[in-house]
Structure 1
Amino acid sequence: MKAVQVSTLNGLKKLYLSEVPRCNIMEQSSVLIKTISIGVNRMDIMQREGRYPVPQGASQILGVEASGYVQESTSEKFKIGDKVMTLVSGGAYSEYIVAPDCHCMKIPEGISFNEAASIPENWLTSYQLLNFIAKIKSGDSVLIHAAASGIGCAAIQLCKFANAREIIATSRSQSKLDMCKSLGATHCITISDSNNFSKMILDATQGRGVDILLDPIGSSYFKENISCCALDARWVLYGMMGGSNTTINLAQLFSKRISFHTTTLRSRSFSYRTSLIRHFSENCLNQFQDGSFKAVVDQVFSWQFAQDAHSYMEKNSNIGKIILKTGSFSEN
């Protein structure tokens, strides 16, 4: 089968399409998926560069989410020909992938393969951040940094679904904030290197601050973020795009009784991901079918141009998801 591989040329990590041994079903309650569309994530870039350790036992091939047809099955849940999307620990940049049936979801009616491939990692991460960790409830105020990312676009819609009082989206681009507004953000704030965004957050919340802060940035926003938090706020750090080193006054965290959490989904246990997928499927999949939720796809690249897709993501230009298309089928 074909798969995207990583090579080193003149010290640079490059992606290319190559033949590798085909994977096979080795266990019960599993499916072999003929991959149609693949979601691109920032962790793929970090893994390509050798900065993201692959979980023990996972494929060294890039990618954690895909959509396609069931080609073979030892599952009672899925039959050959079913359209599915899946979250895997690795190996999604491949013509075929094997996945346990408990980590697969049927693609809702009316959702394309490209849209389906944008759902598992981003939407499950957002659902985890808001429901499993921050415990969102009706009336909460939520601050979402990098809100036009795939995770951010999902988080805005999940906050609206949970009846959040304020959904505050931040970005450095007005066009990205326009998309956030269309998805349900109640306040859209442009961040620059010079502005004091915490004042704008406090103004949006009548001086109270936010109950939940979703933070993929890290150190560069850290001090401002503390000022944004309400009493007993839940702050979830799930990325470090703005760096990992910072100096803070811990008394500020204590005085506001801020609950600070960190998380990555890929390193979670098999049972945790199974539970997450089950909860998300039961509560959210119908919302895609009836149009309440929108899977936002920015660009689609043929997988032979996977390097271009990574370069595009590194420019931080995307609004929503970047997709690789295997070209095996004509469906979108």
Structure 2
Amino acid sequence: MKSVQVKDDKGPAENLYIGEGPTPNPQNGQLLVKTEYFGLNRMDLLQRLGNYPLPPQAPKTLGVEFSGTIEKSESDKFAVGDKVFGLVYGGAYAEYVVAAEETLIKVPDDLSMEVAAGLPEVWFTGIQVLTTVGKFQKGDSVLFHAGASSVGIAVIQLAASLGASKIFTTVGSDEKCEFVKKLGNKFGVTVVPINYHNEDFKEVISKHYDASKGEGVNVIIDPVGQTYFVRNLEIAAKDARIVLMGAMSGPIVKGDVPIGLIIYKRLVVQGTTLRSRDLAYQEKLRDFFVSHVVPLILEGKIDTFVDKLFNFTTEDIVASHKYLESNKSMGKVIVKI
């Protein structure tokens, strides 16, 4: 089968190419899926560079989300010919991928295969960071950094659907501000966008709360890391949960860190990843996604965004990674096989 490979096993986007490799075989509880579309994620960029710690069960081939048709089934829950989409530990950048039944979903009639391919990683991650780790409760306020990212778009809409009181988000342009502030409209929830190039999110958010009364943001989700860490502590409410899901600005916090705020505000600061989690953990996320999110997508209450579609050629694969690296996307980047 054809799959995306990396020259020298790591390097810049130019090292990506389409090569030949063996077709994988499904084991008990697994399915062989003929891939139609796959989604790109930032972990793919890190893995291509050799900077992502792969879980032991992950194959060498990039890619964790896809849509396609089952060609061989070793599961009693899915049949040959089923149209499916799902999450895998790796291997989705290929004509065929082996998927576990625990993280696979049948594609509803009213959902396109193109859109479906970009949903699993984004929404499983969003559900995890907001509800499982972030312990979101109805009426909580939420801050998500990088709100125009695919996960940001998902978390904002998920929080709105679950009854957030207010949602703050940092983005990198006025265009993105206009885009994200509409994401809570269908649920009547205010989204406050903050352009980090000309606004300080601490100053903006502080105007909404009285810190002397323990007020602030209840759930803060941060993929940025170093440059935001101290300010996250400062604008967090008493008993807030701060979820660290990335370190795009760096993994080491420099300067004076006021750990007293963690103590006296009783803050919970927790890091998390999804790809390293076992199938039982991921299955629970899938089940919540199927029961809560999919119906809202089909009803038109939650919007899905495919920002750009690329073809399964070496030229387009290289271009897709460069586009994702440019930080210009507002929604998913998808490749059609």
Q: Is the 8 A contact 1:83 1:107 kept in 2?
A: yes
Query: Counterparts in 2 of 1:123-138, with a 5 A limit?
Result: 123-138=123-138
Q: Is the 8 A contact 1:109 1:289 kept in 2?
A: no
Secondary structure of the structure 2 residue equivalent to 1:278: helix
User: What letter matches 2:279 in structure 1?
Assistant: F
1:311 and 2:302 equivalent?
no
Q: Is the 8 A contact 1:37 1:325 kept in 2?
A: yes
- 1:83-110 CA deviation, whole Å, 9 max, x = no partner? 1111000101010011111110112232
Query: Counterparts in 2 of 1:205-220, with a 5 A limit?
Result: 205=209, 208-220=215-227
1:187 and 2:191 equivalent?
yes
Rounded Cα–Cα distance in structure 2 between residues aligned with 1:105 and 1:77:
10
Rounded Cα–Cα distance in structure 1 between residues aligned with 2:334 and 2:108:
18
Rounded Cα–Cα distance in structure 2 between residues aligned with 1:109 and 1:116:
11
Q: Which runs of 4+ in 1 moved over 6 A?
A: none
Rounded Cα–Cα distance in structure 1 between residues aligned with 2:301 and 2:70:
27
CA displacement at 1:76 relative to structure 2: 2.0
Q: Tell which deviates more after alignment, 57-66 or 270-279.
A: 270-279
1:68 alignment counterpart: 68
Q: Tell which deviates more after alignment, 203-212 or 153-162.
A: 203-212
Secondary structure of the structure 1 residue equivalent to 2:4: strand
Rounded Cα–Cα distance in structure 1 between residues aligned with 2:209 and 2:307:
31
Q: Is the 8 A contact 2:66 2:92 kept in 1?
A: yes
- 1:291-318 CA deviation, whole Å, 9 max, x = no partner? 1222211111112111111111111000
1:223 and 2:220 equivalent?
no
1:288 alignment counterpart: 297
Rounded Cα–Cα distance in structure 2 between residues aligned with 1:95 and 1:69:
11
1:235 and 2:239 equivalent?
no
1:6 and 2:13 equivalent?
no
Secondary structure of the structure 1 residue equivalent to 2:252: coil
CA displacement at 1:229 relative to structure 2: 0.5
Q: Is the 8 A contact 2:63 2:90 kept in 1?
A: yes
- Unmatched 5+ stretches in structure 2: none
Rounded Cα–Cα distance in structure 1 between residues aligned with 2:88 and 2:208:
39
CA displacement at 1:324 relative to structure 2: 1.1
Assess, with a 3 A threshold, how the Cα gap between structure 1 residues 82 and 11 changes in structure 2: closer, same or farther: closer
User: What letter matches 1:253 in structure 2?
Assistant: I
User: What letter matches 1:28 in structure 2?
Assistant: N
Assess, with a 3 A threshold, how the Cα gap between structure 1 residues 258 and 62 changes in structure 2: closer, same or farther: same
- 1:251-289 CA deviation, whole Å, 9 max, x = no partner? 121121110010010011222112221232222222222
CA displacement at 1:9 relative to structure 2: 10
State the Cα RMSD in Å.
Answer: 1.8
Query: Counterparts in 2 of 1:22-41, with a 5 A limit?
Result: 22-25=23-26, 27-41=27-41
Query: Counterparts in 2 of 1:1-332, with a 5 A limit?
Result: 1-8=1-8, 12=12, 14-25=15-26, 27-184=27-184, 186-193=190-197, 195-205=199-209, 208-247=215-254, 248-304=257-313, 305-326=316-337
Percent of residue pairs bearing the same amino acid type:
39
TM-score for both structures, normalised by structure 1: 0.93
TM-score for both structures, normalised by structure 2: 0.92
- Unmatched 5+ stretches in structure 1: 327-332
